[in-house]
Amino acid sequence: MLTYTIFAGLLFGLYFSLVGLGLNLVFGVMRIVNLAHGDFLMLGAFLAFWLFNLYAVNPIPTIAIAFTLFLLAGLPLYYLLVPRLLAARDPEMLSIILFFGFSQVIEAVATIAFGTSERSIPGIALGNAVQWVARTFFGASYEPGPVTLVGQSFPLAWMASGLASALAVLFIYLYLYRTRLGYLTRAVMVSREEAISTGIDVHRVSAIAFGIGIALAAVAGIFAPFMLGSITPAMGVDVTITSFTVIVIGSLGNPLGTVLGGIVYGISYMFMQSYFSSWANLLPYLLLIAILLVRPSGLLGRQVRRA
Amino acid sequence: MLRHTLCILLPVVVVLAVAPVVYRNHLLLFNFIVFMTLAQGVNIIYGFTGYLPFGYVGFFGAGAYGFSLVVMHLHASPFLALAAGGLAAVLLGLLLTPLFRLSGAYFSIANLAAALAVLQVVSNPALEHITKGPYGVSLSGVFDPDLAYAAALAILAATLLLVIYLKNSRFGMALQAIREDAISAAMAGINVVRERVIAWLLSALIAGLVGGVFAWYISVFYPETVFSGEVSIFAIVFALFGGTATIVGPLLGVVILYGIYNAIGISTPQYFQLIYGLLIMGLVLFLPTGLVSLLRRWGIDVP
């Protein structure tokens, strides 16, 4: 039971770090709060749902499609919303309200387009996808079904989501620390003013970071039907709160801290599920408040808060 | 101050007191009163101190449940229960005062999480014998919509009086000074922590009283009804739309936006949500200080 809880927590933790990663990237670079984060995740989930139902596209190729689509959508969105917002008197506070409005727009459009009924993707879709990947890239045969690890059996969806999340985190790490654009992004994160004065095109760097941020949310959305339960247009708010908890635990503005936050969150979530299931829903909120009060800069953070 | 009382408070209260005689839909009028009061409550904490209470509904819900628990378990009279509702919200406010160590977005998010945590506790099936859990509360024993309407109107009047006082007093000036620059305000001899907490608790008390009177008026409700995130958002957006740190701004916001909501929001909620979202975005991008600032730009002085 204990081993199972810890390992399941770890898998969920990896997934939760993917859920929070994009939000943290956006906050770190632009110092704005994307309250519509959960709604982008919802859109990603619906993209996976429709691609699967209409064209029988497996969730794994959908990752590439979703990433590209949302990255491209993020660029114009950035130029439309953010520069104007950053010019205002209190961008951080106004961003909450602005993106709240935006999340309402997304939710309303999704409701008009998809209706309010709950949807899900059958787990076998992911199983087939994994089988396909195993055959094409590794030449291995694989029968869809639960995966056995450390003597415990876990649903395949958890393993696949955990693995995909780990790969996405690795991708972001390589982007931030091994490419020139990532180097510039980190410069903007440290100090926007100094980045401007050294001649970095801050808007271009930020726009790409914004695009990657919502693209990561969409990718996380693809696994939402397997990890978070059925999908509805109204699911965004809860996801946003969860993402917030995860990144606050890790520390705001430090994308890699999100991984730690996600794992802490995932393991405590699984412990609550196993041992106090009727109070498990309270966890994100209490954890969030507790961390904010005890260590507002997060577990890995430097002191970032003023006053 | 007298001028503001005569020109703003009196007409609003008189209109809302007479309206039930000529207009049949009393629930709608009641909801207007509820949101006017809540928007002013947000105005007190956000407009005057700059803290954005994203979980303001927590106080509203605490008030509604404070009222209901006292009625259900102690069989108290509604007015006593109203006081209990206000008290419940103030206690929750006291419990949340440590959140003031946080600033900006951190405060808002922590406040939202706190409101959701209270909802999770109240609606938990494990507490069914106390709060009736997720199955909702029924208070048919004290049902008296006319009296509840009058009580709500009295709460609105008191709230307006408080905002008028804030607008015209040293205390209100001190709060605004803290909002602009807490350190300079402290240097000027303002007790930053105390003044801020007083404003916070007043704001909580208002929401608690409104929550109590709301429970009284509708008498049958679920936890999700009184802890709906929509309540905080509505109150915040109404206040912002009209213009915070003003007396008429939030009232104007409620009349216009809640009016639109009732015209189209009931029958086609998703279209309202769309318009509403676009309005909020437009507001932040083009008019971040509210409608009142637009009027001021045209040379009309609005308090």
Give B-chain residues touching A251 at CB under 8 angstroms: none
Q: Which amino acid is at B136?
A: G
Across the interface, whether the CB atoms of B120 and A281 are under 8 A apart is answered yes
Q: Is B256 exposed, middle or buried (0-12, 13-18, 19+ CB in 10 A)?
A: middle
Q: Does A307 contact B at CB distance below 8 Å?
A: yes
pLDDT value of residue B61: 95
Residue range A246-259: mean pLDDT, rounded: 78
pLDDT value of residue A304: 44
Q: Does A210 contact B at CB distance below 8 Å?
A: no
Distance of alpha carbon A133 from its chain centroid, rounded?
23
Q: Is B266 exposed, middle or buried (0-12, 13-18, 19+ CB in 10 A)?
A: exposed
How many angstroms away from the CA of B274 is the closest CA of chain A?
5
pLDDT band at A303 (very low <50, low <70, confident <90, very high): very low
Among candidates A263, A278, A281, which has minimal Cα distance to A6?
A: A263
pLDDT value of residue A144: 64
pLDDT band at A306 (very low <50, low <70, confident <90, very high): very low
Q: Which of residues 145-184 of A touch B (CB under 8 A)?
A: none
User: CA–CA separation, B82 vs B209, rounded Å?
Assistant: 6
Q: Does B182 contact A at CB distance below 8 Å?
A: yes
pLDDT band at A143 (very low <50, low <70, confident <90, very high): low
3-state SS, residue A153: strand
Residue range A128-132: mean pLDDT, rounded: 75
User: CA–CA separation, B17 vs B33, rounded Å?
Assistant: 10
Per-residue pLDDT of chain B (303 residues), as tens digits, is 778 777 888 888 889 888 888 888 888 999 999 999 999 999 999 988 888 898 899 999 999 999 999 998 888 888 999 999 999 999 999 999 888 877 777 788 888 888 988 988 888 888 888 888 888 888 888 888 889 999 999 999 999 999 999 988 999 999 999 888 888 988 998 898 899 999 999 999 999 999 999 999 998 999 988 888 788 888 988 898 888 888 998 999 999 888 888 887 667 778 888 888 888 888 888 887 788 888 888 877 777
pLDDT value of residue B87: 95
Element (H, E) at B221: strand B220-221
Residues A262 and A16 sit within 8 Å (Cβ to Cβ):
yes
Among candidates A211, A186, A170, A191, which has minimal Cα distance to A74?
A: A211
Greatest mean pLDDT among A142-156, A288-302, B153-167? B153-167
pLDDT value of residue B268: 75
pTM value is 0.82
pLDDT of A301 higher than 70:
no
CA gyration radius for chain B? Answer: 19
Q: Which of residues 35-74 of B touch A (CB under 8 A)?
A: 50, 52, 54
Cα–Cα distance list, B198 to A123, B60, B251 (Å)? 54, 18, 23
Paired with A148 in beta bridges are A153
pLDDT value of residue B251: 92
Please report, to the nearest 10 degrees, the dihedral formed by the alpha carbons of residues A293, A28, A266, A259 taken in order. -120
Paired with B273 in beta bridges are none
3-state SS, residue B57: helix
Q: What are phi and psi of A148, to 5 degrees?
A: -100, 130
Interface A–B counts its CB contacts (< 8 A) at: 128
**pLDDT tens digits, A228-242:** 888 888 888 888 878
pLDDT value of residue B230: 80
pLDDT value of residue B69: 92
ipTM of the complex: 0.79
The shortest CB-CB distance from B106 to any of A84, A102, A292 is to A292
pLDDT band at A27 (very low <50, low <70, confident <90, very high): confident
Among candidates A3, A42, A31, which has minimal Cα distance to A239?
A: A42
3-state SS, residue B239: helix
